[in-house]
Structure 1
Amino acid sequence: MRLQSIWKKLLGTLRRSTFLNNVLTLVTGTAIAQAVGIALAIPLARLYTPSDFGHFAIFSSISAFAATIASLRYELAIVLPKSDSVAKQVRRLARRCILVTSAVTSLLCIAGAGWIGQTYQSRPLTICLFFAGISVYEVAELSNVQYWLTRKTQYKLIAQNRVIQTTGVAVLQLGFFFLFPSVVGLFLGTITGQALALFILLWKTRKDLRLEKTEDLPSLRELAVRYRKMPLLNGPNALVESARNNGMSLIVGLAGPGILGQFTKAQGILQAPMGFITASVTQVFYQRLSTAQPGEMTPLVRTVSKKLILIAIPIFALVFLLAPWLFVFLFGPQWNQAGYYARALTPWILVTVVTSPVSNIYLATETQGRMLAFSIFYCTIPLLILAFCPLPMLQTVTIMSLSMAAMLLFMLGMAFDVAKKFDRGLLKSKPVL
């Protein structure tokens, strides 16, 4: 009876808290997506070789870099206007930018495909790069629509789409292996799975996103100027962050596709618990931050940080202890080094879990400029360590991971400072249309 009473009280708390309900919705969808992804990663890892995954990581790094800045970050402004009609117009602005960036990416990749394929010793990679613009468009437009759903708090639809995308990509990668047992199979599975997820999402939101022609709305040019801080301030931050994440893979890949495959497998599997914890909280937390009033920001940041610390520490302690054995057990003996890379990356990923949602405070308060100097420093250090450290790659990754964790803790302190200043009215009010 006592246990039943506690359970009823917990359910009552969840029902009363919109924030917890939204997080729970996204967590459930993310958990299912991550579970499916990990389950299907096992046969994928036993079919494709570490070198296949290494070459695919090169393609992914190039396309992901372009996708990060494809919308010029205007999709982040979708949650800010008071009017839904203006928000739809902001989404149109972001989509225009995505189309242009995707076309430019295709042209650049076609021009440089031969050189990249020769550098990383992979002709199939050269073929994949001819179609990089397609992947850029799919990833960026999925993010664009999801920010509209975040504005409308349609978290259930976001959660469903994550499951569809993860499942579709992995299943199609498995199927394409029997036609193209190389990086080409991984590439085709990815772009077709993303296309499926995007088509379904656009179909389900087609009525909601329709603009009435009679509405008197700001022009795309006016909105581009109004939200110019997104490309001018957040754009460089995103560019620097993407250069760091994708530059690491490109540098590690120079040591050999097999080493890069081991490294990216470890990083990808660690993204599962990180994504499970942070992706849902981040999306809901950003919406809460964007509507917070002076006096509410610091308590909100403090509460989320404490809860994430309590959740993350036991999870990543287990990862650190079990990773070397677990990777071989799940994926086979060809992945014997991936578990050690996962152990090396654990400190960095742990602190990332705690700080990722909080970092959105710079967007919500339109203080992105404060983050830019840190982002440049945070990008430069790991790339320099990977490029110039004379130690073997595993020890080099360990040093990099510890350095990154220390810098993220410093950034967390910066975020609390911004929150306190906002609560005291020392920052400009957040203007909206």
Structure 2
Amino acid sequence: MASFLSNLFKLTTGTMIAQVVGILLIPVVTRIYSPEFFGVAQLFLSIAAVLVVISSLSYHYVIMLPEKDEDSMNVFVLCIVCILGTSTVASAIFIGFADWFGALFEMPLIADYLIWLPIFVAFSGLFVILNGWLSRKVRYGVLSRGIVMNSVSTRVFQIGGGLITVSPLGLILGSVVGLTLAVLFMLQGLKEDITLLKTVSTRRIRELAVRYREFPLYGNTASLANSMSWELPAFMLAYFFSPTILGYYALAMMAVRLPMTMVGTAISQVFYQKASEEKNLTGGVQTVVQEVHTRLIAVGIFPFILFIILAEDLFTFVFGADWLTAGTYARILAPWLFAVFIVSPITTLFGVLERQKAFLLFEVMTLCAWVVVFSVGGSSGNPLLTLSLFSIGGMLMWGVRSAYLIRESGAGYRGSVLSLTRHLLLSILVSLPLVLAAFLELPFFLLLGIAGISTVAYYLLIFFTDTLVRSEVMGMIQGLIPPEHIDWMKRLGLFR
């Protein structure tokens, strides 16, 4: 795990800034736009997300794998060609049949904004492959600043657009502009690699496309199924319910996934790089899988426990009284999202171990399960029941996926099971004062104070009981402060 946490710290420094700024600005956005407009914007983003996944034919996963940078650059150019082709096709379909899509989801407003879809897809695809290249070159500083720019500029332009005229266009155009600015900034990180473009040739691109053909044949289909499984709730909620219900769901997912995705994506990128490196050096990945997965459980479980307790109060206070229902949705979805958080980073093993067929199988199974869940729940006319079934099913599906990957990596289940059991019990024990305070309906700021004290207590326990986490954290501290200032830490035995 050498340097894993150090690289993760570099990448999450920027993502934490983006997370904080994004969270601070979301309450402004929710007070400008109605749940209905959030619903329209979410449908746009869900359609775009599906197209982005297939835009590079999954060749962006290959960027990290070749030993030679010249081959990676050829794959990078191959991805650009695929992205431009996908955007062109999307332009013809979604602009030409915009009214039909609006009628399909009983949301006529969406037809007016599909003209922006090809642009968003193109820049989203570029953002993804730039992530891959900068991760390969271990330029986490540039990548981190690009993530910050995307998050901050998106919110700023959404707020600015809403102040000019309140409509879904402000939300959609803000996302487009934010992503565009981030991509233009991240392109600067390729300056050192311009000479590699001389090695790009049509012949080599074809050879690499054939060499890694399983990625578009199986990986791309699996990625499409994965994206559909993420976006299907938005499509089904729009179909069975209303834009307002979809808007509540959109905010619930945004509020939980914003910090989770930013940190989780950073972990995934660093893990993918370390797992690929370990596999090339030793032929196996079991060490890094075991160390990372158990620590993800230890670090990630407590915030989700706190969130389940405080979700409705948090949403009402932060986003306004109109968004209480979104807080209820977020509480229901939190257990599933925790499962996603601890498993999602190690799913990059499907690429590292070249298990594209298994990836496809899992994604198709998940997609089929969601179709059944939302058909049953949607037919009941009860969105709470629908989302409850979704959350329970999600925990089961991601649990099975985790078991498969741990087995394939050779890491063994014992460490993960013990870590989950131990830290779940510890989280419940430490959060008992907060549960009692919430039951007594104490003032919200007092609840936050108790939550803060509980958080400090939990992570101090983790710090002093997990030797690997302690040594990595202390190693980073040693690199950040002068040696003469850490003598007292050594006397306390913190560096043992």
The TM-score normalised by the length of structure 1 is 0.90
SS of 1:337's equivalent? helix
CA contact (8 A) 1:55 1:120 kept: no
| 2:446 aligned partner | none
SS of 1:211's equivalent? helix
Partners of 1:256 and 1:147 in 2: CA distance: 37
Corresponding residue to 1:273 among 259, 279, 286: 259
Q: Which one-letter code corresponds to 1:401 in the other structure?
A: S
Displacement of 1:296 after TM fit?
4.5
| 1:344 aligned partner | 332
CA contact (8 A) 1:124 1:182 kept: no
Post-superposition CA distance 1:253-284 (Å, at most 9, x none): 12000000001110111103322441111100
Displacement of 1:391 after TM fit?
5.7
Q: Which one-letter code corresponds to 1:330 in the other structure?
A: V
Rg larger in 1 or in 2?
2
Corresponding residue to 2:142 among 152, 157, 161: 157
| 1:11 aligned partner | none
Displacement of 1:226 after TM fit?
1.1
User: 1:372-411 alignment to 2 at 5 Å?
Assistant: 372-389=360-377, 390=380, 392-411=382-401
CA contact (8 A) 1:327 1:339 kept: yes
Question: Of Structure 1 and Structure 2, which has the larger fraction of its residues in helix?
Answer: 2
| 2:404 aligned partner | 414
Question: Is 1:289 the equivalent of 2:275?
Answer: yes
Displacement of 1:396 after TM fit?
1.5
Displacement of 1:122 after TM fit?
4.3
Q: Which moved more, 1:204-213 or 1:71-80?
A: 204-213
> What is the CA RMSD across the aligned residues, in angstroms?
1.9
Question: Residues 151 and 115 from structure 1, CA distance in 2 versus in 1: closer, same or farther, beyond 3 angstroms?
Answer: same
Partners of 2:126 and 2:82 in 1: CA distance: 10
Partners of 2:200 and 2:269 in 1: CA distance: 29
Partners of 1:378 and 1:124 in 2: CA distance: 30
Displacement of 1:210 after TM fit?
4.1
User: 1:188-337 alignment to 2 at 5 Å?
Assistant: 188-213=173-198, 218-254=203-239, 255-293=241-279, 294=282, 296-337=284-325
| 1:430 aligned partner | none
CA contact (8 A) 2:12 2:266 kept: yes
Partners of 1:200 and 1:357 in 2: CA distance: 26
Displacement of 1:115 after TM fit?
1.6
Partners of 1:338 and 1:412 in 2: CA distance: 29
| 2:79 aligned partner | 94
| 2:96 aligned partner | 111
| 1:370 aligned partner | 358
User: 1:167-178 alignment to 2 at 5 Å?
Assistant: 167-178=152-163
Q: Which one-letter code corresponds to 1:142 in the other structure?
A: F
CA contact (8 A) 2:74 2:201 kept: no
Q: Which moved more, 1:153-162 or 1:412-421?
A: 412-421
| 1:425 aligned partner | none
CA contact (8 A) 2:70 2:199 kept: no
Question: Residues 122 and 281 from structure 1, CA distance in 2 versus in 1: closer, same or farther, beyond 3 angstroms?
Answer: same
Partners of 1:371 and 1:211 in 2: CA distance: 32
CA contact (8 A) 1:240 1:379 kept: yes
Q: Which one-letter code corresponds to 1:288 in the other structure?
A: K
SS of 1:205's equivalent? helix
Partners of 2:250 and 2:75 in 1: CA distance: 35
| Percent of aligned pairs sharing the same letter | 31
User: 1:25-104 alignment to 2 at 5 Å?
Assistant: 25-104=10-89
| 1:24 aligned partner | 9
Q: Which runs of 5+ in 1 are unaligned?
A: 1-15, 423-433
CA contact (8 A) 2:7 2:270 kept: yes
Question: Residues 175 and 302 from structure 1, CA distance in 2 versus in 1: closer, same or farther, beyond 3 angstroms?
Answer: same
Q: Which runs of 5+ in 2 are unaligned?
A: 413-496
CA contact (8 A) 1:53 1:183 kept: yes
Q: Which one-letter code corresponds to 1:76 in the other structure?
A: Y
Partners of 2:237 and 2:201 in 1: CA distance: 52
Q: Which moved more, 1:159-168 or 1:105-114?
A: 105-114
Post-superposition CA distance 1:321-378 (Å, at most 9, x none): 1001110111111111000000110110011111001111110011111222221111
Partners of 1:199 and 1:220 in 2: CA distance: 25
SS of 1:158's equivalent? helix
SS of 2:31's equivalent? helix
SS of 1:402's equivalent? helix
Partners of 1:154 and 1:218 in 2: CA distance: 29
Question: Residues 410 and 263 from structure 1, CA distance in 2 versus in 1: closer, same or farther, beyond 3 angstroms?
Answer: same
Partners of 1:214 and 1:152 in 2: CA distance: 17
CA contact (8 A) 2:55 2:82 kept: yes
Displacement of 1:211 after TM fit?
3.1
Q: Which moved more, 1:365-374 or 1:163-172?
A: 365-374
Partners of 1:307 and 1:117 in 2: CA distance: 45
Q: Which moved more, 1:253-262 or 1:266-275?
A: 266-275
CA contact (8 A) 2:312 2:324 kept: yes
User: Number of residues paired by the alignment?
Assistant: 407
Q: Which one-letter code corresponds to 1:280 in the other structure?
A: A
Post-superposition CA distance 1:42-77 (Å, at most 9, x none): 100000000000000111111111011100011111
Question: Residues 111 and 307 from structure 1, CA distance in 2 versus in 1: closer, same or farther, beyond 3 angstroms?
Answer: same
Question: Residues 218 and 365 from structure 1, CA distance in 2 versus in 1: closer, same or farther, beyond 3 angstroms?
Answer: farther
SS of 1:140's equivalent? helix
Q: Which one-letter code corresponds to 1:194 in the other structure?
A: L
Deviation >6 Å, runs of 4+: 214-217
Question: Residues 212 and 266 from structure 1, CA distance in 2 versus in 1: closer, same or farther, beyond 3 angstroms?
Answer: closer
Question: Residues 277 and 165 from structure 1, CA distance in 2 versus in 1: closer, same or farther, beyond 3 angstroms?
Answer: closer
Q: Which one-letter code corresponds to 2:363 in the other structure?
A: S
Displacement of 1:214 after TM fit?
6.6
